[in-house]
Amino acid sequence: MSQQSIQTIAFLGPAGSFSEEAALAYAATHAGGAAQMLPVQSIPAVVTAIETSAATVGILPIENMLEGSVTFTLDLLIHETGLRIAGEIVIPIRQYLVARVGLALQEIEVLYAHPQSLGQCRKFVERCLPNVMTIASLSNSVAPIEALADPRPAAAISTLRAAEQNSAAILAREIADHRSNVTRFIVLAQHDSPPTGDDKTSFCFTFSQDRAGILVDVLQELAQDQINMTKLESRPSKEELGNYIFLVDINGHRDDDRIAHVLKRIAAKTRMLKVFGSYPRWKG
């Protein structure tokens, strides 16, 4: 997508979330950082904003290194939208313990955290806050707001950006169990991206019947043309128990002759083939 085409970027808000970090990273590399940001309250709302032209593109989380795929996003792509994946962003997931200015770590009695973040910081919480009551927050950006509003000695697991936006004091940095954790986000738009020479294509397919070797037959089409598959997973079709939709990422662009021919052969072997889009590989 050209820089001129990006005007508004929708993301799962509120401001200070990891989704906003991904949106800002995308804006910095594709719009000179000048795009308008549109925080919305849910993943489906991101899709609706693009479909109604309230936003030009949208940022959605699709895969975390530790937690795996974001199934809500996958199901939206499969069942509910014809929007295309036009890009991807990978950002580090860095967690911070924050509180109001003047509170010390040993004074904390209450901890606000998104359940996923709480799980990712389990060791720190068990070792440094063993007797603290935990309260679930809707997001990493809401958690510090709730902690600062609590009259009790409260802290929150937060993003750095949310801490800065709310003038919270940082009590501990990089508190996650795995400091190499990253999340992959996708960029949704009305159209995917033109070929760059270093692209990925994402698609899904399903079968009309089940038989031994049916999935292997499809994957062999990729191997036959030496197309590298970078991801394979499945989701229930929501039509019948035991019937699945397979999701695949491959290297290459759908407009490349070799990729186009393989997709055509796969379509002939499946009941449904849906190409989500082709887009440049994220380089950081």
**What's the pTM value of the predicted model, to 2 decimals?**
0.86
Residue 194 lies in a domain: no
Measured between alpha carbons, how far is residue 270 from residues 34, 82, 210, 260, 280 in Å? 43, 19, 11, 15, 27
Q: What is the pLDDT of residues 228-239, one digit of tens each?
A: 999 999 999 988
Bridge partners of 275, per DSSP, are 203
Using DSSP bridges, classify how beta strands 57-64 and 8-12 pair: parallel, antiparallel or unpaired: parallel
Which CATH number belongs to the domain containing residue 51 in this structure? 3.40.190.10
Burial class (CB in 10 A: 0-12, 13-18, 19+), 37: middle
> In tens digits, what is the pLDDT along the chain, a chain of 284 residues?
444 455 899 998 888 989 999 999 999 887 665 789 999 989 999 999 999 999 999 999 999 988 889 999 999 999 999 999 999 999 999 999 999 999 999 999 999 999 989 989 999 999 999 999 999 998 888 999 999 999 999 999 999 999 999 999 999 999 999 989 999 999 999 999 999 999 999 999 999 887 888 899 999 999 999 999 999 999 999 888 888 999 999 999 999 999 999 999 999 999 999 999 999 999 86
Residue 240: what pLDDT? 84
**Tokens 């290194």 found at:** 65
- Total domain count, the chain: 3
Is the domain of 49 the same as that of 87? yes
- Which of 273, 262, 283 is closest to 197 using CA atoms? 283
198 φ/ψ angles, rounded to the nearest 5 degrees? -145, 75
Residue 20 lies in a domain: yes
Is the domain of 53 the same as that of 134? no
Burial class (CB in 10 A: 0-12, 13-18, 19+), 221: middle
Is the domain of 74 the same as that of 112? no
Which CATH number belongs to the domain containing residue 226 in this structure? 3.30.70.260
Q: What is the pLDDT of residues 260-280, one digit of tens each?
A: 999 999 999 999 999 999 999
| Rounded to 5°, angle at Cα 204 from 43 and 87 | 55
Is the domain of 89 the same as that of 106? no
- Host domain of residue 274: 199-280
